[in-house]
Structure 1
Amino acid sequence: MPAQLSVNLNAVALLRNRRDLPWPSVTVLGRIALAAGAHGLTVHPRPDQRHTRFSDLPDIRALIDDEFPQAEFNIEGYPTDDFLALAEAAEPEQITLVPDDPEQPTSDHGWDFLAHRDMLKAKVARLTKTGARISLFCDPDASEEQLEAAKATGADRVELYTGPYGACHDDSAKAARELERLGKTAGMARAMGLGVNAGHDLTVANLPALARAIPTLAEVSIGHGLAADALEHGMAGTVRRYLKALQG
């Protein structure tokens, strides 16, 4: 079965926030994405609310509950107490913990699971009570020792950071090397019983090779590239193109 597609709405929200106006609407674009076949919606509500706002979360939750009950809501963020409370209130199907500093423009590395194992274990234990699946952002070349520490937190999945792979859009040899290490890390994670997600700088062009390199890939979360393509192809057409690319 191809990996599921979760559409990250942050880029839509960032465009909306350039003006004090309600468009483009994250719920309208989310509805179009889900109607076109996307399996879920992702947001990263940062403390400064520079893209997804806290007030967006109930609206997205209601959209899924009322119109697309088979879809999943994925909320990602750094596990401060404020973020944990926000995630608990939104009742997402998946919560993805990332090691970002609040001032970072975007995610650019995975957790050091050995250094943060005890902290993450406590956060995962709290969030597991919500019934959500818990995923942890992971470097593409994580060692076996690092993955064992990730497993020890009690998380269900890791999300492989695919930024370095996405940066190889003009270098096929380097892309092949990045795919090899992503495949190796995914294989070790699966052998330990961890599900594998992936995200960052994924596109229609680079998704097929990723899907072939990680045949057990469960989900991809895509925002920037998908939103950029939607300007050309429309949201519905873009979602269909990404779903086709995931078939490898």
Structure 2
Amino acid sequence: MTHLSVNLNAIAFLRNRRSVPWPSVVDIARIALDAGADGITVHPRPDERHIRRTDVFELVTLLRQDYPGREFNLEGYPSEDFLTLVERAHPDQVTFVPDDPLQATSDHGWNIEANRAVLAPAISRMKAAGIRVSLFINADPSAPAAAASVGADRVELYTGPYGGALKAEVQAVHLAALKETADAARAAGHNARPGQGGLQVNAGHDLNLINLPPLKHAIPDLAEVSIGHAITADALVYGMAETVRHYKVACS
């Protein structure tokens, strides 16, 4: 089964609109985990416009004390400040994204070859700390081999173009590209690391209850999806617990 990691950035963004402590990121995380979420994802940006550094450590405490076995995934650009934060928090997984600090959200994957000098030492440092590393990539069959060559354990497919496609024929083109990239990831992992089971595939961005099942059908061994915006929007209708249960069914 594909694991569901609930991204809490939108919850934190809502909280930060006022100088009050609600909605509580930790309390919403607890509701999601109690409803069956397999993990929690946050992307602490340098300006703390949504997730704050204090949130990161409060979530670490929640997960380690009350939900052993559930995963914590930290997303971010591999700057020195972020790498130090990851080492201190020690999540199960770090997902490196090529975001400019001013970006509203992630909107493209890595050009890995052009950023090898940034990525290779950062990945080595994280793996020395015992943290699994995923790289955010576009739907590009050449990207997984590059990711494996710099030491990544997983890739996360940027599904924004697929999720944002309003016409079925356009969505089908993007879905085919994602499937081809996932196929390339399996091969790249086996070729780069014989006997270690291949490069696993995560996915995220603009996934929802409608477009997630076709993605899962196209990539049956999808390891994890990280979903925040759609889950938060659906939670306004169904409540967070029921929404998580709906997404767990979509992941099955």
Tell me whether the two structures share a fold, i.e. TM-score over 0.5: yes
| Residue in 1 that maps onto 2:108 | 109
Give the RMSD, CA atoms, in angstroms: 0.8
TM superposition shift of 1:119: 1.9
Q: Residue 117 of structure 1 contacts residue 152 of structure 1 at CA under 8 Å; is this kept in 2?
A: no
Amino acid at match of 1:124: I
| Residue in 1 that maps onto 2:167 | 171
For residue 110 of structure 1, give the secondary structure of its aligned residue in structure 2: coil
| Residue in 2 that maps onto 1:186 | 182
Q: Residue 145 of structure 2 contacts residue 184 of structure 2 at CA under 8 Å; is this kept in 1?
A: no
Select which of 205, 213, 216 maps to 1:208: 213
- Give CA deviations for 1:38-91 in whole Å, capped at 9, x if unaligned: 000000000000000011011100100111001000000000000000111111
Select which of 150, 155, 176 maps to 2:152: 155
| Residue in 1 that maps onto 2:61 | 62
Percent identity for Structure 1 against Structure 2: 56
Q: Residue 212 of structure 2 contacts residue 251 of structure 2 at CA under 8 Å; is this kept in 1?
A: yes
Q: Residue 78 of structure 2 contacts residue 118 of structure 2 at CA under 8 Å; is this kept in 1?
A: no
Amino acid at match of 1:176: A
Q: Residue 138 of structure 1 contacts residue 159 of structure 1 at CA under 8 Å; is this kept in 2?
A: yes
Q: Residue 141 of structure 2 contacts residue 180 of structure 2 at CA under 8 Å; is this kept in 1?
A: no
For residue 202 of structure 2, give the secondary structure of its aligned residue in structure 1: strand
TM superposition shift of 1:132: 1.1
- Give CA deviations for 1:21-40 in whole Å, capped at 9, x if unaligned: 00000000000001100000
Q: Distance in 2 between matches of 1:160 and 1:131?
A: 23
Q: Distance in 1 between matches of 2:99 and 2:55?
A: 21
Q: Distance in 1 between matches of 2:179 and 2:144?
A: 14
Instruction: Give every structure 1 segment of 4 or more consecutive aligned residues whose post-TM-superposition deviation is greater than 2 Å.
Output: none
TM superposition shift of 1:143: 3.4
- Give CA deviations for 1:85-143 in whole Å, capped at 9, x if unaligned: 01111110000000000100000000001111232111000111221110000001x13
- Superposed, which structure 2 residues align to 1:20-35 within 5 Å? 20-35=19-34
For residue 217 of structure 1, give the secondary structure of its aligned residue in structure 2: coil
Q: Distance in 1 between matches of 2:86 and 2:117?
A: 20
- Superposed, which structure 2 residues align to 1:21-170 within 5 Å? 21-140=20-139, 142-144=140-142, 146-168=143-165, 170=166
Q: Residue 117 of structure 1 contacts residue 153 of structure 1 at CA under 8 Å; is this kept in 2?
A: yes
For residue 189 of structure 1, give the secondary structure of its aligned residue in structure 2: helix
TM superposition shift of 1:173: 1.1
Q: Distance in 1 between matches of 2:224 and 2:92?
A: 13
Q: Distance in 1 between matches of 2:39 and 2:99?
A: 22
Q: Residue 113 of structure 1 contacts residue 147 of structure 1 at CA under 8 Å; is this kept in 2?
A: no
Q: Distance in 2 between matches of 1:152 and 1:119?
A: 13
For residue 231 of structure 1, give the secondary structure of its aligned residue in structure 2: helix
Q: Distance in 1 between matches of 2:73 and 2:17?
A: 24
TM superposition shift of 1:150: 1.1
Normalising by structure 1, report the TM-score: 0.96
Amino acid at match of 2:135: L
TM superposition shift of 1:147: 2.4
- Give CA deviations for 1:189-224 in whole Å, capped at 9, x if unaligned: 011221100000000111000000111100000000
Select which of 242, 247, 250 maps to 1:242: 247
Unaligned runs of 5+ in 2: 190-198
Amino acid at match of 1:180: A
Q: Distance in 2 between matches of 1:48 and 1:81?
A: 15
Q: Residue 110 of structure 2 contacts residue 138 of structure 2 at CA under 8 Å; is this kept in 1?
A: yes
